[in-house]
Amino acid sequence: MDEPKTSRSEYISRINKTLDYIDSNIENLMTLGELASVANFSKYHFNRIFHSIVGETPFQFIQRVKIEKAAMLLLTNRKMTVSGIATKCGFSDLSVFSRNFKSCFGVSPTSYRANKPQNSNLSQTVSKGSQAEAKAVPYFCPELQTIKWRTNMKLNKSVEVKELPKMTLAYIRHIGPYKGDDKLFEGLWNSLFAWAGPRGLIGGKGFRSLVIYHDDPGVTIEDKLRMSVCITVPPETKVDGEIGKMELEAAKYVIARFEVNAQQFQEAWDWLYGEWFPASGYQPDEKPCFEMYPEEPRDGKFVVDICVPVKPI
């Protein structure tokens, strides 16, 4: 009776490996045979299997992810030329890139950059009145030898920029809408912890739980959004089925801690992008951003570290 479920879990595992491979090689030309090899499927069947699980062919998925990454870079890295962005996103021909971009967004890359506000991936619902009261002021912390920011934004507890180490993560991935869906997140976490608990992978020194957002919700349509709930695990950990494993490279992040209820996560993200970034001297880097949870939620309140990769403007 368990065979169909086991088979589907194995298929999802192989497709998740392929998605991770595509993300890591987005600048390069990838062949169908190469991707089929990563998934360990025959190339004659891989295209149909990928489409049945992801909802797009591998070519459609790769083209969309490249264009959406370009859209993000156009807004967050305004010093980079359009041709430089095209190259970084795997397009060797600028005219092909421009044609594909316009087909997706209805305007040229140059018009998109000119007419979209910076960091428009977030709705920035913080009102003008509250913005004036929620500015962040940098100061030097002698104890930690680092720059922190003072803020009177009510939900914010601290802001600092620091290097996070390389992490090996076990994850369960979701593709589709997720905003405000408490039941979805609860089910994903329950499944991940049910797998990790008997293996002794929960807790201990350096243990972290996090949610990675692979796509920009202001660019990618809801049905295609990818999100992974993750825990840190030892590098040698074996995974199977719907549990995948990936490496998150060491990088510099802004880490902003908030105490929020389930309805206030968006306000926290909006403040970070709409208030902190413009005054910080940093811009978002193109690596994935994520939320980390240093404490168990209590009485409907979540302590969350919003982590966004950064680089100097």
- Report the distance separating Cα 149 and Cα 85, nearest Å: 32
pLDDT for residue 250? 92
* Confidence class for position 177, pLDDT limits 50, 70, 90: very high
Let me know if residue 124 belongs to a domain. no
- Report the distance separating Cα 146 and Cα 210, nearest Å: 24
Determine the structural domain holding residue 172 and report its residue range: 162-312
The torsion angle over the Cα atoms of residues 194, 199, 205 and 211, rounded to 10 degrees, is: -40
Let me know if residue 29 belongs to a domain. yes
Token code pair at residue 289: 């951003």
- Report the distance separating Cα 163 and Cα 153, nearest Å: 24
Reported as type and span, the H/E element at residue 232 is strand 226-232
DSSP readout, 159-223?
EEEEEEPPEEEEEEEEES--TT-HHHHHHHHHHHHHHHGGGT-SSSTT--EEEEE-S-TTTS-GG
What would the mean pLDDT of 132-145 be, rounded to a whole number?
62
Q: Is the pLDDT assigned to residue 293 strictly greater than 80?
A: yes
Let me know if residue 140 belongs to a domain. no
Q: Is the pLDDT assigned to residue 225 strictly greater than 70?
A: yes
Q: Could you report the per-residue pLDDT of 238-285, keeping only the tens digit for each?
A: 998 899 999 999 999 999 999 998 888 889 998 998 888 888 888 888
- Provide, rounded to the nearest whole percent, the portion of the chain with pLDDT above 90: 52
What CATH number is given to the structural domain containing 285? Answer: 3.20.80.10
Q: How many domains does the chain have?
A: 2
Q: Return the number of other C-beta atoms located less than 10 Å from residue 56's C-beta.
A: 15
Same domain, 305 and 247: yes
- Placement of tokens 């595992």 in the chain: 13
Q: Could you report the per-residue pLDDT of 55-95, keeping only the tens digit for each?
A: 999 999 999 999 999 998 888 888 889 999 999 998 989 99
Q: Could you report the per-residue pLDDT of 27-66, keeping only the tens digit for each?
A: 888 999 999 999 999 988 899 899 988 999 999 999 999 9
pLDDT for residue 1? 40
Same domain, 37 and 167: no
pLDDT for residue 288? 86
